[in-house]
Amino acid sequence: MAAPSLAEQLEAVETAIYNLVTGARSYTIAGRTVTREDLTQLREWRRELKDEVGLATSGPARNYAGFTNPT
């Protein structure tokens, strides 16, 4: 069995967060069980997955400085 893709993991985390905040006591994703008390950890995992998915689809973020000529 292949490991779930980043997008599949993110979808599972989003579902788990929804289920936890709407009344579920615990949720299992890929053998990892989280409980209502772990909601902060689940949200951190979601943020990390979103960052990874963003990098995988768009490459590293680039910031450019803009300069204007003061008059």
Q: Is position 67 within any domain?
A: no
Paired tokens of 49: 């997955």
The confidence score (pLDDT) of residue 37 equals 66
Q: Is position 44 within any domain?
A: yes
Total domains in the chain come to 1
CATH code for position 10: 3.30.1580.10
Q: Is position 30 within any domain?
A: yes
Query: Which pLDDT tens digit goes with each residue over 17-70?
Result: 888 888 877 778 888 887 766 788 889 999 999 998 887 666 555 666 667 777
Q: Is position 19 within any domain?
A: yes
The confidence score (pLDDT) of residue 44 equals 92
> What is the C-alpha separation between 17 and 15, in angstroms, rounded?
5
> What is the C-alpha separation between 11 and 5, in angstroms, rounded?
10
Q: Is position 71 within any domain?
A: no
- State which residues form the domain around 37: 6-54
